[in-house]
Structures are given as structure tokens and as C-alpha cells.
Chain A
Amino acid sequence: MNDGILILSYSERVDAKTSRHLYQKAYLQEGVQDKYMNQTTSITSQRSQWPRQLMAVPAAEVIAVAATLASQYQIEDVTLPQAGLALMQLRDSALNEAYYPGEIPLASARVMLTSKDGAQYEGAAQVMHDSATFARAVAVIDAVLAGNLPGSEAVEPLLDRGAALLTQQSITRKKMLARTRVDFALLGSTEEEDGDE
């Protein structure tokens, strides 16, 4: 897997459909999934990150952009948009057994867009959100972006802004870590003993 594919910018994604296909093909290779999931910045090109980027910006803006797109296509719900909960399953890292620590909010939607020339494009979304309307908006955007359809350019600023906010969030968290890193070497040179019990 090439790192260069992982850090494609959004505009590259729009212009280079081939790159996305390359990525999706490589994604299936062993180990690539782990590497990919560790990326939190500069990955606006991946479909798997669109929901996260859209959740980072105000929901009203996402819904408004989706409404604009809806005027260009005929939209049919493949499954009715729903808002509810998902039971979260976790694997314990001690004995490798699964359990349920609790539930998370989840909204989902799946839509079919039909363009004026009759072509159909499917989109779907699952987001940790309370609003089925928001999930449907993300699903519409998912269809437009995945099909590289007219209207993608309207979504680009939202995705870019979401990606920027997530990058900033990631930097803030890393600053918390960096500011509080324990320097044991320094401690060893100034203290006689470690603070062991």
C-alpha cells in the first residue's frame, strides 16, 4: 500500500477517480485496514471518512447542502431513515473475549438517486447521531460523492472544513499527550530512586 494514496487530498479524489479505485483495491490487502484507521488527517478522499467529516460541521449545514442536491435528482428511500441505538461490542484486550459495554446513538439511511438521464446512484449512511434527517442528508451526499456526480463541488467545502476541524481536534489531543509526557531519563538523573512502592 502506498502512503501517497492514503493522503490524497479531496480535490485529487474528485479529479482522479482511478486513485480512489486503487485505494479501495489496496484497502482489502492485509494490514492496510489497520494502517488506514490510524490516519486522522489528510484523508478526506476516503468514503469511509465522509460521515465523520460531515459530523464535524453543523448538522444544519449538511442538511441544507443535501437539500440543494436533492433538487437536482429524484431521491427514493431504499430503506426508511431511522434514528435509534446500536449495541456496541468490544473485544477485551486481556482475554480476547467480546462483551457489550453499552449502547450508542445511531441514525441510518439508504437512498437511490436518479439523475435526469435516468442513471441511478446509491448512497447510504450510518452515523452516531440522533437525527434520521441528518443520516439521510449524509446518505444523499454519499451517493453524489461516490458517483462523482454534479453537485460534488457543493459538498467539498463542507468536507474540507470537517477535515480541518478533525485535524485541529487531533492536534489538541496530541498536545495533551506531548505536554504531559513523562521523561524518566530526566527523573533518573535527578532522583535517587524511582517512585516505586
Chain B
Amino acid sequence: MGYVAIKGGGQAIQGAEDVLEALRTAEGEHGTPLTTQSIEHQLRLLTSRIVSEGGLYHPQLAALAIKQSQGDTLEAAFALRAYRSTKPRLLETCTQDTSRMRLIRRISSAFKDIPGGQMLGPTYDYALRLMRLDLANESPEIFREVAREFLAETPEPNLPDTFPKVVEALRAEGLLPPVENHTETPFDITREPLIFPVPRSAALATMARAETGSILALAYSNMRGYGDVHPTVAELRVGYLPVMLPHPITGEPVEVGEVLMTECEVVAMYEDDDAKGAPTFTLGYGACFGHNEVKAIAMAILDRALQKGMRDGPTNPSEDPEFVLLHIDGVDSMGFASHYKMPHYVTFQSDMDRLRTTQQKHESVKQQDVKQQDNEQEVQV
């Protein structure tokens, strides 16, 4: 049997699109189309995941991607990346400083009394994980009232716009290595292939766009014992980072917008200084677009693990840059898995031909063995 081109594939593919649309709108006359605003706000953590994995901070388009992919996070991130690939890159920003983030949440598991205080902000950390059945039939009136009441009931606080970083306090006490001045140009993973060894900036960029489940799984392997990071969260913060660019005429820094980000610094076991300085704690760093706490923590743990692997050679999978960085991208891995659904008729035909040939050889050998056994029995008789 040879390769046969199939007629009608185009119609089937068009039909598949129609079926998808029919299912998306299956509520019929009783349905209401999801607005991208509703997705962006009511499914804000899902939107956060897509802007992070898509590598493009565009919550409105991320919400649209979620809508068109009917909630498939891998497909949504893929769509966002496809979109970004069609747009020209106008410039590269100057280095942004996360100490200027306008926070909505900051916690530390290292100290109770961090400068500025701990503020839980929006979190499910202390939720009971019981089903909220009242949401099943939420009335629009009650829905609209909640935020209004929250704002009305909470007095206007006297808080600063930014807060000091916990790691800076640790650094001031000499518990962390001093800050070094790095002037290297960061590695651009969207323009250059990952050919190992890669600099740390390539690892950070790859992890910032990683698929949440994948990066968590590899960090979890380190947490469970295939590694020795043993992290303490010095600070986890969520907030809006003002993006500053020089004014094209005056050169004065101008805020061109803001980006919701999650940032995490973990403190790990201390090490002796190679330069025979005082021993200090080591650090891992994670920061990505959107509100993605588990991802930022996983990234920080893997950053610390990869630093060790890059320096001393990997002793477990989570310290191996090649293993980690080539297996955490959602679009890459989903593409590879999905490609198995595409026609493999020729390769499979080849596999079948080889199997049949091998089976025939096996059969002929078997028949020869039987003949030989028969001959041997005849001789004995």
C-alpha cells in the first residue's frame, strides 16, 4: 500500500472549526457571549497565566485568546505568541527596577517583621477549599455590590506607593553576597536558539515564559529530594511595575504604562565564598508577568538549582540547564505532543513494512527450527 493523498481533508478541517464554534455557542438562545473584560477580571489568574506563558503582557488579548481557545491554556498561550510574532519590535526598554512595583501583596516566610509589614493581598492561601455554592447562582446585583462595599468599608490608608525589599535588608546585614555590577547584554530567547551552555539571563527568560505545570514539576522534583535547595521565601510580591522609557525629546524618564508582575526571591543554604570572603546565603530569583505565585516560586527554586548546576555540573535533573530549559516551554512541548495527532501514514507504513518483514523472517526461522527438530526426531527414531 502506498501513500494516498486524501481528498476532502479541507472540508473536514473546516467542519471541525464549525463544530468548535457550535460547541462554544451551544447555550443557544439562553447564552450570553463571554466578554473579554469579564474574562480579564473574573478569570484574572487564568489571564495572568496566559500573559506569562505567552511572553506578551497584553491582558486584553490574553483574555481573547482564552475565549477563542475555549479555556485551553496551551492553545491560548500559543495564540498570543503567534500574535506577537506578527508585530514589529520597536525597541528594547531600559532596565526596569522591580523595587518600584506598586504592590497589592507582599509576604515573607523568613521574617515576621519585614520593613513595611506583611500584607496578604488577594490570596487563596488561607481559603478552606470548600465549594462556594452561592456563586453557582450569583445575582448580578450582589455581584456588583461586592467591590463597591469593599471600597466603602475600607478606610483610606496612609501607605507608601513602594516598599523596601527584604533581600536588601539581608544584604545590609552582610547575610547575602554583595551586589555585583553586571553589564552583559541579556540573552534574547526569541531571537537566538538555546545552544548550551547558555547564560543565566537565557535561563531566567525561558523560565519566565515557561508552562506553569512543567516548571512546577521540575522544581517539585528538587523540593522532594532530587536536589538540595531547601528554600526560604525571603519575599514574594505581587504588584504593578511602572514601565519607564526615556522621553524621545527630553530623555526624561516617562511612565509608558504598567505591568502586573509576581516576583519571588528565595534564600537557600549558605556557601563559602570562593574569594575567601565571609560565607553568605545563596539566592534564587523568579519573576514573571501576571499574578502567578507558584510559578515565581518554582522559577526561583530552579534558578538557584541551575546556578549550582552551571557552576559545579548537574547532580540531579533540576540542576541540568539543558534538561530544565528544553522541557518547560508549553508551546514547544504541546506542539510536540500534538504533532503525533497529525498524519504519519508514510512513516507508519514504513514501520508496518519492517514489522511484516521481520515477522516473515521470524516465521521462516520458526519453520526452519520446526523442520530441524522433526529431522532430529526422525534420526533418533
Contact = CB atoms under 8 A, between A and B. Distances in A.
A, B co-complexed: yes
Interface of A: 24, 27, 33-34, 37-40, 47-49, 51-52, 55, 82-106, 108, 110, 122-129, 146, 170-182, 184, 194
Contacts of A108: 90-91, 248
A101 B257 contact: no
Interface in B84-105: 84, 87-100, 102-105
A177 B104 contact: yes
Given A47-B247, A88-B259, A38 B160 contact: yes
B201 interface: yes
A105 B258 CA distance: 11
A32 to B, nearest CB: 11
A88 B209 CA distance: 13
Contacts of B250: 24, 47
A136 B155 CA distance: 40
B88 A84 contact: yes
Nearest to B100: A37
Given A91-B98, A94-B265, A102-B57, A47 B254 contact: yes
Contact of A96 (B54, B121, B179): B179
Contacts of B248: 108, 110, 124-126
Residues of A contacting B: mostly: mixed
Given A99-B202, A178-B154, 14 more contacts: A24-B252, A48-B252, A87-B93, A87-B188, A95-B283, A95-B285, A100-B205, A103-B190, A105-B58, A110-B248, A124-B248, A146-B249, A170-B102, A174-B157
A102 B56 contact: yes
Nearest to B201: A99
A92 B283 CA distance: 11
Interface residues of B, number: 97
B165 A93 contact: yes
B7 to A, nearest CB: 41
B253 A103 contact: no
A92 B57 contact: no
A55 B257 contact: yes
B107 to A, nearest CB: 8
A49 B257 CA distance: 10
A98 B112 contact: no
A110 B250 CA distance: 12
B89 A85 contact: yes
Interface string B90-130: 11111111111011111100001100011111110000000
Contact of A48 (B240, B247, B265): B247
